[in-house]
Amino acid sequence: MIETLTMSLRLPKSKLALVLISAFLASCKPSPKQDNETTQPAADTLSTLVKVENAIFPIPSPWQVVNLIQKNNIPFNESCINSTKNYQRYTTSFKQAVNLGIYGTDLSYLNIYDKTQESLQYLGVIKKLSEQLRITESFDEKIFERIENNIENKDSLIKIISDTYASSDLYLKKNERYDISALVVAGCWVESLFIMTKIAQEHNDREIINRIGEQKHPLDNLVELLTPFYYKSTEFANLLDSLIDLAYEFDGIIYSYTYREPIVDEANRVITIRSQSRVVMSEYHLKIISKKIEQIRSSLTE
């Protein structure tokens, strides 16, 4: 406890307070459920609008990052993904869960380049990790058969992978294994940001750089998602500390937002949100975010 507190004291007061209060609340509860009745820290700009009693923190899909890479015709880079040789190092449930997320993002990255053989290897590792984590209900034989049968159909595969991860997320939450669920999500997110920063540095792709800048709110959500487990282990505390440290770098990015009235197409049940946002990210911020996410990712994969 003292060691963890010492690490936390490096943090500025506001975020340290958030972590400590949330961790304290989590430690008072029988299980780290998100659907608690305690007042959670409200979304900053909505704090006067509602009293938040149940807050859930979604993280945007890592599969969308892969879609963006595909759209921009960026060549494959093997150094973006975690080697399957590393999986034997993952002997704790923390490492197994977080790398299940990392390998899931890697599998979808491989998928867009038609890397069939490599995809099968990654699939094998995902299967082993899911067995070690006892999530075999979601990652059952039928799923692997479906994936293998669709390995050359990009669109089908991405659908099956995302559905399988959603199904395992539901299974973990039903069984109150919220910590494992959060770690899988964290692994997916860390890997997708890592891949984006590698690409941004090599190709200076403006759309990818903007997408990196847009990770501010998803990162805040990830911090909220992991905070109840801060005192669960040193590994959790270290990960959360490093993500909070990364979040400070996002505070330096300039964001602007202009509201425009949406247009509703009632017949087709579609609404077009026309509000405009803009991200201005300096080279300095890109470099520092790239460096920090690489360090975080290394600490999870090594």
Partner 1 sequence: MQRILIILTLTLFSLNSFSQIEQLKKTCSINFPSNYISDGQEYFAALKPDQRIEFRTTFYADNTYRISACTNAKKGKLVFTVYDTEKNLLFTNESFNYSPFWDFRFTSTVTCIIQVDVKNPQFIPGYVMLLIGFKQ
For partner 1, the binding residues (CB under 8 A) are 34-35, 37, 43-46, 49-50, 52-64, 67, 104, 155, 158-159, 162-163, 165-167, 169-170, 173-174, 185, 188, 210-211, 214, 217-218, 221, 257, 259, 262, 264, 266, 268-279
Query: H/E element holding 276?
Result: strand 276-280
Q: Are 29 and 48 in contact (CB under 8 A)?
A: no
Residue appearing with tokens 């290394």: 298
* CA pair distance 72, 93, nearest whole angstrom: 36
Nearest to 187 by CA among 89, 111, 290, 104: 104
User: Of 45 and 117, which CB lies nearer to partner 1 in the complex structure?
Assistant: 45
Contacts of the segment 161-164: beta carbons below 8 A, 24+ positions apart: 161/63, 161/104, 161/107, 161/108, 161/111, 162/61, 162/63, 164/138, 164/139
| Shortest distance in whole angstroms from residue 224 CB to partner 1 | 9
User: Of 8 and 220, which CB lies nearer to partner 1 in the complex structure?
Assistant: 220
* CA pair distance 253, 81, nearest whole angstrom: 27
| Shortest distance in whole angstroms from residue 286 CB to partner 1 | 17
SS3 280: strand
User: Of 62 and 228, which CB lies nearer to partner 1 in the complex structure?
Assistant: 62
Classify residue 202 by burial, with Cβ atoms within 10 Å: 0-12, 13-18, 19+.
middle
| Shortest distance in whole angstroms from residue 35 CB to partner 1 | 4
| Shortest distance in whole angstroms from residue 124 CB to partner 1 | 20
User: Of 4 and 197, which CB lies nearer to partner 1 in the complex structure?
Assistant: 197
User: Of 88 and 259, which CB lies nearer to partner 1 in the complex structure?
Assistant: 259
Q: Compute the residue count for the chain.
A: 302
| Shortest distance in whole angstroms from residue 86 CB to partner 1 | 22
User: Of 252 and 262, which CB lies nearer to partner 1 in the complex structure?
Assistant: 262
| Shortest distance in whole angstroms from residue 164 CB to partner 1 | 9
